Amino acid sequence: MQKPSILITFLLFTLTLNAQQIVRPQGNSFNNMLGINAFEWDFLQDPKNPNDVSKIYEPKMEIIKSFGGFRHYLDWQKVEPKRGSFTFNPTNNGGWNLDVIYQRCKQEGIDVLVCLKGCPDWLLETYPLNLRDGENIPMAFGARRDDPASYTEQAKMAFQFAARYGSNKNVNPALVTVDSKPRWTADPVNVPKIGLGYIKYIECDNERDKWWKGSKAHQTPEEYAANLSAFYDGNEGRLGKNVGVKNADPNIKVVMAGLAKPDPNYVRAMISWCRIHRGYRTDGSVNLCFDVINYHYYSSNAKPGSTDRGTEGIAPELSQTAELADAFVNLGKQYHLPVWVTESGYDINQGSPQKAIPIANKSALVTQADWIIRTSLLYARHGVNKVFYYELFDDNSTNSTQYETSGFAVKEPLQRRPVANYVCQIKHLLGGYTYKGTINNFPLVDVYRNGNKTIYVLTVPDEQGKTGVCTLNLGNANKGIIYHLNPDGVNMGQSTISSANHNVKIKVGETPVFVEKVD
């Protein structure tokens, strides 16, 4: 996408609200645009007592409460460390208390997407030593990749997980099992539980289109559809009563693995496999084995359509973000499926090819914050239903590899980065609002509503440090409240402005500004 051709620094925009200009009405709370990727230790591990992972570490939870959703990267190994031996609280691998994580998220109103990923050690042992990788295709070595039965073991694990954390309290107890043996004297033991009601979404693995790892880890769309068919409902029940998410809880939504290479044709090929092998439902729709379309996209200057990593991140409006969103959302509408983006983000390390850059007087940390919020606004604008960012804490704060320094917060000492401050502020102000339309494109002026309340979001969609003054007509309102994002704390700056003939003048820049109508 070309950058706007306006080159002067200070611009004067005059806008008049006209209800007829509002387009693309949506029904999606902005909370859904504020998800985060994280791990079990991000909830449970107290740095002063790292061996006790049985309860929530409240200082970390205070940061997590800022987000509207949590995508949990959960290794299959944690849930089933030995074949047929299921552990949840504590997990025999690591001792983690999954129950308390999910219970607390439900209590805080944070939607959880559990991404059940990877291969357990006992499954990898079927592979030759030189082919063992935790991200291998989730089946035994030598099994048929296009046969749903090859994925039965993974689908049995998914059944146990869904039976415990889903909402169905009528699962046959004879089908539910845990390893109740203590690991040592006085060790807490796992207890079978049914229908806890904590989890509504489960994702079948992560980035199954792993082209960079070769055939041992890459699945074609048809192979992954076969995998999903087992995971979803035990290949329509053929693999057994204790196989597949839907056989434990029909209410849980199964999310396809986020695509590393965001290509709608991959999803179309999966749908074609379902049409051939699963047929049609009674209403005439294709009997799909997934409920949500899911892809990943990190805005950068990488060459479109290639595997090139590029050299730096770029503002979302100047990348392929909108184009890809439109392509996936249009596909979703065709098959009545919501579309999620479960990974996006920017690095801080200036050696990373996915780095956010300093702009004018803003540091890379503030640019990261600006671009993340603008990404959420863009996805709301284009009809994406949920967004999760990578990630809560850095993997390695000194590493220049892409995605290693994408954290929203710092562990030592524990503190928010500007982006986490922004998310906290916006969740509080805009979280319950719904996107209703865009009335101007440069600067962008989005309209959000919550009942009879209206908030306008104004942004210059560039990365040159452009600013200007916008005259905004507030209709019948006599004044407005202007909210400014604060990179240094969790409270927004705000001021009240009186309107002249219902018009207010707003200074606008590349950090979004929020204007609330006050009647």
pLDDT band of residue 475 (cuts 50, 70, 90) is: confident
**Does 81 sit behind a cis peptide bond, omega within 30 degrees of 0 on the bond before it?**
no
pLDDT at 22 (0 to 100) = 44
Checking if the pLDDT of 220 tops 80, the result is yes
Q: How far is 294 from 219, CA to CA, in rounded Å?
A: 16
**Residue range 181-204: mean pLDDT, rounded:** 96
Query: Which structure tokens are listed for 272?
Result: 């074609």
pLDDT at 142 (0 to 100) = 97
- Give percent helix, percent strand, percent coil of the chain, each to the nearest 5: 25, 25, 50
Nearest partner of 111 among 124, 121, 102, 100, judged by Cα: 102
**Residue range 64-78: mean pLDDT, rounded:** 98
Q: How far is 64 from 380, CA to CA, in rounded Å?
A: 22
Report which DSSP code applies to 173: G
Query: Which structure tokens are listed for 184?
Result: 């040592």
| b/e sequence 59-88, b meaning 16+ C-beta within 10 Å | ebbebbebbbbbbbbbbbbbbbbeeebbbb
Checking if the pLDDT of 8 tops 60, the result is no
Partners of 450 in the β-ladder: 453
pLDDT at 347 (0 to 100) = 98
List of residues 6+ apart from 496 with CB closer than 8 A: 479, 480, 481, 482, 518
The pTM assigned to this predicted structure is 0.95
Checking if the pLDDT of 200 tops 50, the result is yes
- Listed range (25-29, 277-281, 331-335, 467-471) with the worst mean pLDDT: 25-29
Angle at 289 between CA 284 and CA 295, to 5 degrees: 115
The percentage of the chain sitting over the pLDDT mark of 90, rounded to a whole number, equals 90
Q: What does the chain come to in residues?
A: 519
Tell me the per-residue pLDDT of 429-441, one tens digit each, with 9 for 90 and over.
Answer: 999 999 999 999 9
Q: Please, are residues 60 and 71 in contact by the beta-carbon 8 Å criterion?
A: no
Checking if the pLDDT of 496 tops 60, the result is yes
Q: What's the burial of 432, exposed, middle or buried (CB within 10 Å: 0-12/13-18/19+)? A: middle
Nearest partner of 165 among 117, 100, 223, judged by Cα: 100
Angle at 218 between CA 276 and CA 155, to 5 degrees: 60
- Listed range (305-319, 387-401, 416-430) with the worst mean pLDDT: 305-319
Checking if the pLDDT of 315 tops 60, the result is yes
Instruction: Give residue limits of the domains in the chain.
Output: 29-432
**Residue range 212-236: mean pLDDT, rounded:** 97
* 3-state SS, residue 163: helix
pLDDT at 150 (0 to 100) = 98
Checking if the pLDDT of 21 tops 50, the result is no
pLDDT band of residue 246 (cuts 50, 70, 90) is: very high
Query: Which structure tokens are listed for 3?
Result: 């950058």
Q: How far is 84 from 178, CA to CA, in rounded Å?
A: 8
* 3-state SS, residue 300: strand
Task: Give counts: helices (H), strands (E), the chain.
Answer: 12, 19
Checking if the pLDDT of 15 tops 80, the result is no
Q: How far is 56 from 460, CA to CA, in rounded Å?
A: 40
Checking if the pLDDT of 511 tops 80, the result is yes
Neighbours of 47 (CB within 10 A): 12
Give the dihedral sign, CA 440/443/445/446.
Answer: positive
Please name the residue ranges forming H helices in 309-459: 321-334, 364-381, 418-430
pLDDT at 502 (0 to 100) = 85
pLDDT band of residue 27 (cuts 50, 70, 90) is: low
pLDDT at 326 (0 to 100) = 98
**Residue range 43-62: mean pLDDT, rounded:** 94
Checking if the pLDDT of 11 tops 90, the result is no
Rounded to whole angstroms, the maximal C-alpha distance in the chain is 76
Out of 2.60.15.10, 3.20.20.80, 3.40.50.410, 3.40.30.10, select the CATH number for domain 29-432.
3.20.20.80
The percentage of the chain sitting over the pLDDT mark of 70, rounded to a whole number, equals 94
Query: Which structure tokens are listed for 227?
Result: 């995998």
List of residues 6+ apart from 248 with CB closer than 8 A: 158, 159, 160, 161, 162, 163, 166, 168, 171
Q: Please, are residues 477 and 517 in contact by the beta-carbon 8 Å criterion?
A: yes
Angle at 432 between CA 430 and CA 436, to 5 degrees: 75
Mean pLDDT of the chain: 94
pLDDT at 9 (0 to 100) = 36
Q: How far is 186 from 188, CA to CA, in rounded Å?
A: 6
pLDDT band of residue 320 (cuts 50, 70, 90) is: very high
Checking if the pLDDT of 7 tops 80, the result is no
* 3-state SS, residue 275: helix
Tell me the per-residue pLDDT of 91-118, one tens digit each, with 9 for 90 and over.
Answer: 999 999 999 999 999 999 999 999 999 9
Q: Name the residue with higher pLDDT: 309 or 408.
A: 408
Report which DSSP code applies to 200: S
pLDDT band of residue 26 (cuts 50, 70, 90) is: low
Neighbours of 469 (CB within 10 A): 13
pLDDT at 17 (0 to 100) = 43
Checking if the pLDDT of 261 tops 90, the result is yes
